[in-house]
Homo-oligomer: A and B are copies of this chain.
């Protein structure tokens, strides 16, 4: 266990004090270049690596970040949060920080399910990904521990949130349909109480307004309670039963879009010949549907990386970073969208990127 050189060995070898080695290590004070080189050389020769725990104790920091999400989010088939985590973990390497990933049950009880690292004070800050229980987020606030919410915005709190740009994404999706020549564009979305879904509906409406197209209630179906393929299927079924014609459909996410495709195909409506479809999220399954799904791509790794950077900044400056950050989204055009039957002037559109991070749009 105790194998490996310590700072003491380095100090001796370089004929300086331990303090100097520490200063070089953390390039704190200005050190004469010559001594710096001597220390660096000793470090290399001894293959010295600072012990993370020792550093933690002395600096009164743990050097760890907690990453919390509910177990169902994590073990879901679509590796959405997994990729966010990956982005976080990768970014954390630049800061010499470690990520402690833990899941909490969906039915969260604060007495039994509170992540240990919160009690142990074994993290300097936490990342909360996806929908987390209010009891937990309130506890974190109360601890006054630096934190960032990812892809979720708790009701009782503004700020410290990193999300994908739902509003812009939805707008891009619907604009794409409009550009193709569609006028009657339907929307399906479940769990409309979820802030992300609500924003996507808002984007849909906004794009229609922009184009001076009417917002027709009979083309909006958002009563389902979840956003799985089955919900998409049911929502589309309802839409069809209203007999209000539409040539395109924007689904609040790819999962629902896939359900919608099944429903439409069952009814003999070819995609995109009869109905164009756009989804949201760019999940893997969407690339393998027949036809492949046009969608809005979200950079999950970037979401995780941005959140970590903000958190590190908060930890270093000991200040809250006000505002939400929205990470870019982009339109990915595949084969599920085309000009409506009989259209004359559908513009040709290719993948559109979206500029940079927008702050505080929400």
Contacts and interface: CB of A to CB of B under 8 A. Distances in A.
Interface of A: 1-2, 4, 49-54, 56-57, 60-62, 64, 71, 74-79, 82-83, 85-86, 89, 93, 96, 98-103, 116-117, 119-122, 284-285
A89 B69 CA distance: 13
Q: In this complex, which of A53, A56, A74, A85 has the most chain B Cβ atoms within 10 angstroms of its Cβ? A: A53
A102 to B, nearest CB: 6
A50 B120 contact: yes
Report copies per complex. Answer: 2
B49 A121 contact: yes
A111 to B, nearest CB: 13
A79 B76 CA distance: 7
Contact of A99 (B96, B101, B285): B101
A51 B100 contact: no
Nearest to A71: B86
Contact of A77 (B4, B61, B77, B101): B77
Q: Is the interface of A mostly helix, strand, loop or mixed?
A: mixed
B74 A82 contact: yes
Contacts of A4: 121
Contact of A56 (B53, B78, B98, B121): B53
A120 to B, nearest CB: 5
Given A62-B52, A121-B51, A75 B71 contact: no
B51 A120 contact: yes
A332 B89 CA distance: 37
Contacts of A77: 77-79, 284-285
A30 to B, nearest CB: 27
Contacts of A102: 89
Contacts of A50: 120
A89 B117 contact: no
A3 B86 CA distance: 31
A99 B98 contact: no
B86 A82 contact: no
Contact of A122 (B52, B103, B121, B285): B52
Nearest to A93: B116
A1 B61 CA distance: 7
A101 B98 CA distance: 9
A89 B89 CA distance: 16
Nearest to A98: B100
Contact of A89 (B57, B103, B284): B103
A103 B87 CA distance: 11
A127 to B, nearest CB: 14
Contacts of A82: 74-75, 79, 82
Nearest to A64: B98
Contacts of A75: 79, 82-83, 86
A22 to B, nearest CB: 16
11 contacts: A4-B121, A49-B121, A51-B122, A52-B62, A52-B117, A53-B57, A54-B57, A74-B86, A77-B79, A85-B101, A101-B101
B1 A60 contact: yes
Nearest to A143: B3
Per CB-CB distance, the 5 closest pairs between chain A and chain B, nearest first, are A53-B56, A52-B122, A52-B120, A49-B119, A53-B57
